[in-house]
Amino acid sequence: MKLFRYFTQGLLVIVPLAITVIILLKIYSLINGLFVWFGLEADNFIGMAIILALVIGIIILIGVFASSFVFTTMFAFMEKVIEHTPGIKHVYSPIKDFMQAFVGNKKKFNRPVLVLTNPSAGIEEMGFITNEDLNDFGMKNKVAVYMPHSYAFSGRLVFVPKENIKKVDAKSGDTMKFIVTGGVVDVHEEQ
């Protein structure tokens, strides 16, 4: 069982990184191919620097295009089709939700809290409120709190009575850094 957990934890670390590297290498390869097609030498340092600058520029342009009304309308239609396609929707939707929880306009981890997990010892853990209305699950006066693990891209979801929660007066990004690094990062020093 632990072996499987380590395997999935490794996947959570490697897959996003690998996908990013593969995409960047494909874009680099495409631009390098264009250089060769036009008869330009791209194997030297200057050629590589130009290609790298073009890759970064293309990514920025895609970001600008992705923010436009035409793209958002087109993408919303495409997303509807994907989310209603059997099989694909079970892969696409969770990945989309996971990515939106960390980046984008719909960040979910924006309400840091301290949770009293062991009242007799006074032990508290840091987490983020993800849902304050659990009536659909028959849990009144409780909230859902995501508790990230240190040095991992994993965590756990706990349901906590509201009286066992204290809001943290800190930026959510700083709180996440603090939790993920096991408390060793000095948040004020990084700013």
SS3 159: strand
Pick the residue with more confidence: 16 or 178? Answer: 178
| pLDDT over 70 (residue 106) | no
* C-alpha neighbours within 13 Å on the C-beta side of residue 57: 7
14: pLDDT confidence band, cut at 50, 70 and 90? low
**pTM assigned to the model:** 0.48
pLDDT at 114 (0 to 100): 93
Torsion of Cα atoms, 158 then 162 then 163 then 167, to 10°: 90
Pairing of strands 123-131, 155-161: unpaired
Give me the mean pLDDT over the 26-41 stretch: 76
Q: What is the pLDDT of residue 4?
A: 63
In this structure, what are the phi and psi dihedrals at residue 190, rounded to the nearest 5 degrees?
-70, -30
CB < 8 Å & 24+ apart, contacts of 147-154: 147/115, 148/176, 148/179, 148/180, 149/180, 150/179, 150/180, 150/181, 150/182, 150/183, 151/180, 151/181, 151/182, 152/9, 152/12, 152/13, 152/180, 153/9, 153/12, 153/13, 154/8, 154/9, 154/12
Over residues 123-152, the mean pLDDT reads 86
Residue 103 confidence (pLDDT)? 56
| 100-104, 151-155, 161-165, range with the lowest pLDDT | 100-104
- Using pLDDT thresholds of 50, 70 and 90, give the confidence band for residue 38: confident
